[in-house]
Amino acid sequence: MTTFLLPLIFLVVALVYSAVGLGGGSTYVAILALTGMDHQQLPTISLSLNLVVTSVGIYNFRRHGHIRFDLIWPFLITSLPMAYLGGSLQLSRLTFLWLLFITLLFVALRIYLWREVTFNLHLNHLGRRATMLASGAALGFVAGTVGIGGGILLVPLMIMLSLAREQEAAGAGAVFVWVNSAMGLFARFNRQAFDPDLIVPLVVAVIVGAGIGSYLGAARLKPRSVQLILGVVILMALVSIGGQLL
C-alpha cells in the first residue's frame, strides 16, 4: 500500500485540495492514521506535504491575480506564534484524533449545510482588523496542534465573513497554509525524523496533483464544484477517524 496505493491516493487528494487553495494536510493525516503509523509522526509528514502543495498553489493563484496580501497579513501575524505553540505540544493519540475529527466536521458542515451562510459584519477598520487578528490566533493554534495548515478553516471563514471572493479566499488560504505549515514543522523539526523511503514518493505524487489542481482552481473550475468534491473527501476521512474513535 505504501509503495503503490498511497502515492496515488495522495496525488488525488493534492489535486482536489490545491484547487481550493489548500494543502490537504487534514486528509493526509487521516489516511496515514489508518496505516497504523505512530501518530506523533503524522503531523510532520502532513506539514511537509502541505508546504510542497501550497508552494505550487501560490504560484498558480498569484499568476492569475488571486492573491491579495492585504487580506492575509492580519491572520498571519497572530497565527505564527500560535502555530508554533500548538506544534510544541505533545498530545495523546485520542486527543489528537478528536481534534482532527472536530476540525473536519466543521468544514463538512460549511460545505454541505452552511454553504450560503455569510455574515456582513458592520465593523470599522479597527474592528475588522481585530476580528482578523483574533481569528488568525485561533486558527494558527489548531493548525499547529493537529498538524494541518489551517487553510481548510480560513477559506470558509473568509467567505462566510464576506472578506473575499472564492478564488481570493483560496489564494489567501494557500499562503496561510504555507506559512503555518512551515512554523508547525519547525516546532517539530528537532523531535521527529523523516523516513525518505515513505515521504519521497508522496512528495512526487503531491507535486503532480498540486500542479494540475491549482491550475484548474485558478483558471478553469468553478470553486463551488471543487468544494463539493472536497466535501466527499472530507466525509470519507470523517468516517475513517470516527471508526477509530468508537
pLDDT in tens, 174-185: 898 898 788 778
| Cell triple for 61 | 493563484
Residues near 46 by beta carbon (within 8 Å), at least 6 away in sequence: 24, 25, 26, 28, 29, 32, 147, 148
Cα separation, 139 vs 227, in Å, equals 20
**pLDDT for 105:** 84
pLDDT higher than 90, residue 206: yes
The runs of H, that is alpha helices, within the chain are: 5-18, 25-34, 42-63, 69-88, 93-112, 125-146, 151-160, 166-188, 196-219, 223-245
- Stated pTM of the model: 0.76
Per-residue pLDDT at 81 exceeds 70? yes
pLDDT score of 154: 84
> What mean pLDDT do residues 55-84 have?
89
More confident residue, 173 or 164: 173
Under the banding of pLDDT at 50, 70 and 90, the label for residue 53 is: very high
Q: Which candidate, 27, 144, 35, 164, places its Cα nearest to that of 81?
A: 144
Q: How many CA atoms lie within 13 A of 164 on its CB side?
A: 22
Burial code of 46-72, b = ≥16 C-beta within 10 A, e = fewer? bbbbbbbbbbbbbbbbbeeebbbeebb
Is residue 189 over pLDDT 70? Answer: no
